[in-house]
Amino acid sequence: MGGYRADDDYDYLFKVVLIGDSGVGKSNLLSRFTKNEFSLESKSTIGVEFATRSIHVDDKVVKAQIWDTAGQERYRAITSAYYRGAVGALLVYDVTRHVTFENVERWLKELRGHTDSNIVIMLVGNKADLHHLRAVSTEDAKAFAKRESTFHGDLRSRVHERGKCIHRSSYSNISCGE
């Protein structure tokens, strides 16, 4: 029976947190990645949820435990516990709403205040399908990420097209097209 692995067998378990303003699409990124589901009418998250999915990277099984919380302050429950133990973060903004990009700085501050300095942070411009409504350019996002990285270490900027691609890259540095 060589090669058999139980469903819940994994080599690495990584906690990743999703952060960003309300409505940027965090919960849909999560449902797309873990269940391949997308909803046009999803409700604001209240409190904290998480979902997992295992992926293969080289010959290892990496189990991603992805945490999702409310972008709205009044729906958020516990900040420290949310960030505790996270090795990766997807900081999401909505490319059609500039204010969500402006708030990235605030999210970064909170993230850095609660996590280890080795955390891998990826900046994700979501809703890239809405070309005609775009209010934040890829260049601006990249320039911001580069500036931040100069002062604080790695911050990658990638425009979201497919959740799966983004998540893979945060585990193994496999880059994928924008």
Give me the residues that bind ligand GTP (CB under 6 A), please.
22-28, 39-42, 44-45, 70-72, 126-127, 129-130
Subset of 65-94 contacting Mg ion (CB under 5 A): none
Amino acid at 142: K
Per CB under 5 A, the segment of 25-33, 51-59, 80-88, 156-164 that binds Mg ion is 25-33
Task: Let me know how many helices (H) and strands (E) the chain has, helices first.
Answer: 6, 6
Indicate the residue among 18 and 62 with the shorter CB distance to Mg ion: 18
Q: Which does 88 bind (CB under 5 to 8 A by kind): Mg ion, ligand GTP, none?
A: none
Distance CA 86, CA 81 (A): 10
For residue 178, what are its two tokens? 């924008």
Subset of 35-54 contacting Mg ion (CB under 5 A): 45
Amino acid at 17: V
- CB 141, min distance to ligand GTP, A: 15
Is 96 a residue that touches Mg ion (CB under 5 A)?
no
Indicate the residue among 26 and 156 with the shorter CB distance to Mg ion: 26
What residues contact 58, with CB distance under 8 A and at least 6 apart? 172
H/E element holding 17?
Answer: strand 12-19
H/E element holding 30?
Answer: helix 26-35
Is there a contact between 137 and 101 (Cβ–Cβ < 8 Å)? no
Please report how the helices 26-35 and 163-172 are oriented relative to each other, as an axis angle in degrees rounded to 10.
Answer: 80
Indicate the residue among 77 and 130 with the shorter CB distance to ligand GTP: 130
Among 18, 19, 27, 156, contact with Mg ion (rule: CB under 5 A) = 27
- CB 23, min distance to ligand GTP, A: 4
Is 100 a residue that touches Mg ion (CB under 5 A)?
no
Residues that bind Mg ion (CB under 5 A): 26-27, 45
